[in-house]
Amino acid sequence: MYQSFYGFKVKPFQLKPDPNFFFGSKGHKRAMAYLEYGLSQGEGFIVITGEVGAGKTTLVRNLFRELAGEKIAAAQIVNSGLDSDDMLRLVAAAFGLPHEDTSKASVLIRLEQFLRQCELQGKRTLLVVDEAQNLSPSTVEELRMLSNFQTEDRPLLQTFLLGQPEFRKTLLSSGMQQLRQRVTATYHLGPMDLAETRAYIEHRLHTAGWRGDPSFGENAFESIFGYSSGIPRKINGLCDRLLLMGCLENLHHFSSAEVNEVIRDVQQEFDMPGELADGSRSAESRNSEEGENTVGSLKNVNDRLATLETSFTSLLTLLKQILSLAGVNKNLRKDKV
């Protein structure tokens, strides 16, 4: 919608990883250098970690684009929450090999034949596993075993593991010693700072055909950074919503006021309504509170009944006194007569 309004050739802040929008921040350049170093070594594992939305997938796709002219057979896996046997079949599928209705031994044989064929053709073989934090220790070990396919002087397969920070716990666990010995480089991709966040936004705008409309105030960049903490995916999501609002309200300049308005809208959309928040409590907690409320209600009823009973008793006593006085007065009148 806002593409034509602002004259963009494409959406500048799409959430899908696109290597055409790759921005070389300090962290991304260093991570890319580690990947390129790993490729130059032609062996072992390269481990890149980063927070959700830090740009790890875009990093790899940019690497694949740079490798397009080289003799490298590369495949990427993103569905990593599998057991070891299914992971082997997924690796075979990623390289275009038959894998259905076959035993594990058959899959391994086909993989080895494929790797040796690539070697004869002068190609190197690269496997990239994304979302590595979802890998079980047994699946990681299965991937390590694939590196045992070797020629006399080097392995036939090289593997890059990309994941969120918790993958480091898996890597450092006691059963991963053999894998750690084969890791040639590891790097953690951190968030961008304020200056890089501004440069990142302007880079994506220029790539999409930006000609200065809309403009952004300095405080707008500060608000975007404050919300996103320099995480590319959060920046993209916020800026996409900001441009949509600008289109709907015919805005051609954004300050912190407009940015903060969009931030409030986004936060409200993800706030849990009060009833749902109450409903999310455990049944035990609800039952306990319901029990307490019931006991409290009964106590209140008992207290009210006791009060009414006391009042009624007092009223009867008073009524008796009035009747008694009335009888005395009647007798006195009789005596006078």
**Closest residue by Cα to residue 19 from 51, 76, 64:** 64
- Tell me the CATH number at 212: 1.10.8
Asked if residue 101 belongs to a domain, the reply is: yes
In this structure, are 164 and 255 located in the same domain?
A: no
Low-confidence spans in the chain with pLDDT less than 50: 283-284, 288-299, 301, 305, 308, 311-312, 315, 328, 332, 336-337
Q: Is residue 77 part of a domain?
A: yes
Is 243 in the same domain as 262?
A: yes
The confidence score (pLDDT) of residue 296 equals 47
- Has residue 114 been placed in a domain? yes
Angle between helices 56-66 and 26-41 (to 10 degrees): 50
In this structure, the answer to whether residues 175 and 243 fall within a common structural domain is no
Picking from 245, 269, 293, the residue at the C-terminal end of a domain is 269
86 and 10 inside one domain = no
Q: What is the per-residue pLDDT for 295?
A: 41
Closest-CA residue to 135 (of 110, 101, 162): 162
**Looking at 144, 172, 189, which one is the last position of a domain?**
189
96 in any annotated domain: yes
Residue range(s) defining the domain that contains residue 202:
2-14+193-269
Pair (71, 213) in one structural domain: no
226, 246, 269: which is the final residue of a domain? 269
Residue 303 counted as domain residue: no
pTM above 0.85, yes or no: no
Which of 78, 113, 75 lies closest to 94, judged by CA? 75
pLDDT at 80: 74
Residue 324: per-residue pLDDT: 63
Radius of gyration of the chain (CA): 36
Sequence-separated (6 or more) residues with CB below 8 Å from residue 7: 209, 211, 213
Which residue's entry shows tokens 């006991």? Answer: 295
User: How far apart are the C-alpha atoms of 3 and 211, rounded to whole Å?
Assistant: 12
Residue 285 domain flag: no
Is residue 232 situated within a structural domain? yes
Instruction: Note whether 176 and 230 are same-domain residues.
Output: no
What's the rounded Cα separation, in Å, for the pair 225 and 203? Answer: 15
Distance, in Å, from the CA atom of 160 to the CA atom of 46, rounded to the nearest integer, reads 5
What's the total number of domains in the chain?
2
User: Does 240 share its domain with 152?
Assistant: no
The predicted pLDDT at position 332 comes to: 47
Identify whether residues 140 and 228 lie together within a single domain: no
Cα–Cα distance measured from residue 56 to residue 28, given in angstroms and rounded to the nearest whole number: 9
Give dist(CA 170, CA 141) in Å, integer. 11
Are both 56 and 185 inside the same structural domain? Answer: yes
Residues 8 and 62 in one domain: no
Q: What is the pLDDT of residue 308?
A: 47
Is residue 296 in some structural domain? no
pLDDT of residue 279: 54
CATH of residue 46's domain is 3.40.50.300
Question: Looking at the structure, do residues 173 and 122 belong to the same domain, yes or no?
Answer: yes
- My answer on whether 150 and 208 are in the same domain is no
